[in-house]
Structure 1
Amino acid sequence: MEHIAAELFTDPGNNAVVRLPPRQFPGVLVQGDSLSVIRAEVAEIVEACDRGDLAEAHEVAALLLADLDGLLARYNTALEDHGIARPY
């Protein structure tokens, strides 16, 4: 294990915006349990599609999209608050 100094742009929690050296732009650190939930939601979408249950797939995908939109909004706000241009 290597110890490094990282820049923290948001309060820590289930996710945080951090910049690791030597990266130009920050990234999003997602806790393992939160990553597991995202993966489970994607698996649920795939399973619903396999069953032909597009209504359920759409419902789960819409919830996942809302969660990802919130995460992206947090990222965008952190960059704006620190005067960093978006990498996209």
Structure 2
Amino acid sequence: MERIEAELFTDPGNDAVVRLPPRRFPGVLIQGDSLSIVRADVAGIVAACDQGDIGEAREAAALVLAHLDELLARYGTALEANGIPLPYIEAP
């Protein structure tokens, strides 16, 4: 294990925005339990597709998309507050 200093741009919650050296842009730190939940949600979408339940798959996918949109919004707000441009082009 290596100890390093990181820059924290948000509160240190489940989805903290941090920048590790020597990275130019910050990232989002997702706790392991939260990552496991996202994985389970995506697995549920795959299972619904396999069973032909497109309505259930779409509904579950919409929830995952909403969660990712919230993460991106938090990320964007943190970068804007610190004068850092987004490292990507925002989707329409």
The alignment's TM-score, normalised by the length of structure 1, stands at 0.99
Corresponding residue for 2:52? 52
Shift of 1:79: 0.2
Structure 1 vs Structure 2: percent identity of aligned residues?
74
**Number of equivalenced pairs:** 88
Corresponding residue for 2:4? 4
The alignment's TM-score, normalised by the length of structure 2, stands at 0.95
User: What is the CA–CA distance in structure 2 between the aligned matches of 1:37 and 1:64, rounded to whole Å?
Assistant: 10
Q: Secondary structure at the match of 2:28?
A: strand
Give the aligned CA root-mean-square deviation in angstroms: 0.4
- In the alignment, structure 2 segments of 5+ residues that lack a partner are none
1:40-72 deviation line (CA, Å, top 9, x unaligned):
000000000000000000010000100000000
Runs of 4 or more consecutive aligned structure 1 residues displaced over 6 Å after TM superposition? none
Corresponding residue for 2:40? 40
